[in-house]
Amino acid sequence: MRSFVFSLRVLVCIVIFLAACNPGCKPKATEQEDASQATSVVDVNEEASEGDIDALEAQATEESADEIALTINGVDITETKVQEVLKPELDKLDKRPQKLPPAIAQTVKKQLRQQVLEKIIIEHLLDEKVKEANIVVTEEELTREFTKVAADQKPPLSLDEFKKKLAEYGQDFDAIKQQVKKGMAYQKVIEAQWGNKINITEEDAKKHYDQNPEQFQVPEQVRASHILIKPDCNDTDPNEVKAKAKDQAKAKAQDLLEQIKSGADFAELAKANSACSSAANGGDLDYFPRGQMVPPFDKAAFELEIGKVSDIVETQFGYHIIKVTDHKDAGTTSFEQAKGNIIQQLIQEKKNELIQEYINSLKAEANIVYPPGKDPMALPMRK
């Protein structure tokens, strides 16, 4: 139901890998899903031809693969290296449901190239510092990191279960492992710069609490469990096959509802029958506010009393049986309740500030040279 999110807490400002569940397993509002998954480089309100991003990729490869894109402390970075990092970003744009107009596509390409060059520079400078400090990340450290991340999932996972989840979402564990290993080495370099510079007090937290009252307003929420029955069909099925599959799914949902009304255990039925990832947790979705789920699901959940079970609710994901297990009215989180999280937030903000200062100092000391006409800030827009 919820996105499969795991923070690996490393790399320059914290490496985050996000592998969202199949939307069919979560009745969250699709507008929110699209917004979170889109690559937000510029706002797009116009339509463009299907070949816009293809044209961008063709332009991106016009440069000779062996041509030097920039030099960092005497080390040449070729166009091949730049394109290896840039191409996946262009591919993300290509997958956006709304295509880019040609003029905006040109601007986006320039922005993406600047971002990629910045990434290459930062990683190269940090790699130099890792080498200078003889920093090593051991297999034991990596295992502990991944085990911690797996245990932080809802429900908690073992390391083997976590690897399996990654595979289900098309993620290459070994590739992620190498990125995390690099990120942990960077973290060791950066943490050595902090010294006694991070000192957040309770007074700092209280000041933040008083100055940001809107952050501590808690909306009305419900806690619900559900059972999702999905029709066994796909987009290529003829209409009559789809209709039959929907009828079968609805009949199964109705049968489960009758079992629940007769006293069957909701959680056990969810574990055995639900097509949502929440099934492993007895269908529990935890607390959510109004508007987080798709409208039919949202309406049914907020209309139910605690302990009550809905009739069959149809959404674009299938047929749901919903049980509300708790309800919280809107209110305000007290300072005592919020204090711990505020302190952690302020500590992280201070860390991010020090990280940025350190990165800026590395760049200021580095000898970064672009060949004539290659400086990304000086490049004219292509026609």
Question: Can you tell me which residue has the tokens 């069919």?
Answer: 24
Residue 278 CA: distances (Å) to CA of 78, 94, 175, 222: 46, 31, 27, 16
Domain boundary among 280, 298, 329: 329
**What string of DSSP letters covers 284-332?**
EEEEEETTSB-HHHHHHHHHSPTT-B---EEETTEEEEEEEEEEE--EE
Residue 145: CB atoms within 10 Å: 19
Is 204 within a domain?
no
Is 117 within a domain?
yes
Residue 177 CA: distances (Å) to CA of 139, 153, 160, 314: 10, 18, 14, 40
Cis peptide leading into 376, omega within 30 of 0? no
Is 379 within a domain?
no
Whether residue 59 contacts residue 383, with contact meaning beta carbons closer than 8 Å, is answered with no
Burial class (CB in 10 A: 0-12, 13-18, 19+), 26: buried
Same-domain check for residues 123 and 248: no
Same-domain check for residues 78 and 186: yes
Give the residue among 323, 319, 1 at the shortest CA–CA distance from 155.
1
Whether residue 355 contacts residue 12, with contact meaning beta carbons closer than 8 Å, is answered with yes
Count of helices and strands (H, E) across the chain? 12, 11
Same-domain check for residues 170 and 289: no
Same-domain check for residues 93 and 225: no
Query: Which residues have a Cβ under 8 Å from the Cβ of 174 and sit 6 or more positions away?
Result: none
- Quote the pLDDT of residue 27: 60
Is 14 within a domain?
yes
Is 165 within a domain?
yes
Q: Provide Rg for the chain, Cα atoms.
A: 25
Same-domain check for residues 359 and 322: no
Domain that holds residue 262: 220-329
Query: Using CA atoms, how far apart are residues 74 and 125, in angstroms rounded to an integer?
Result: 12
Burial class (CB in 10 A: 0-12, 13-18, 19+), 113: buried
Same-domain check for residues 115 and 145: yes
Is 375 within a domain?
no
What is the identity of the amino acid at 171? Answer: Q
Is 336 within a domain?
no
Same-domain check for residues 21 and 99: yes
Same-domain check for residues 226 and 128: no
Is 205 within a domain?
no
pTM exceeds cut of 0.95: no
Same-domain check for residues 230 and 318: yes
- Quote the pLDDT of residue 234: 64
What is the identity of the amino acid at 222? Answer: V
Same-domain check for residues 245 and 148: no
Structure-token pair, residue 199: 């000192």
Same-domain check for residues 73 and 35: yes
Same-domain check for residues 163 and 310: no
Indicate which CATH number applies to the domain containing 305: 3.10.50.40
Query: Using CA atoms, how far apart are residues 74 and 369, in angstroms rounded to an integer?
Result: 9
Residue 168 CA: distances (Å) to CA of 130, 162, 165: 33, 10, 5
Indicate which CATH number applies to the domain containing 129: 1.10.4030.10
Pairing of strands 4-10, 368-369: unpaired
Total domains in the chain come to 2
Residue 341 host element (H or E): helix 335-365
Residues of the chain with pLDDT below 70 are 1-65, 233-239, 377-383
- Quote the pLDDT of residue 181: 93
Query: Using CA atoms, how far apart are residues 221 and 122, in angstroms rounded to an integer?
Result: 42
| Torsion angle, alpha carbons of 258, 259, 260, 263, to 10 | 120
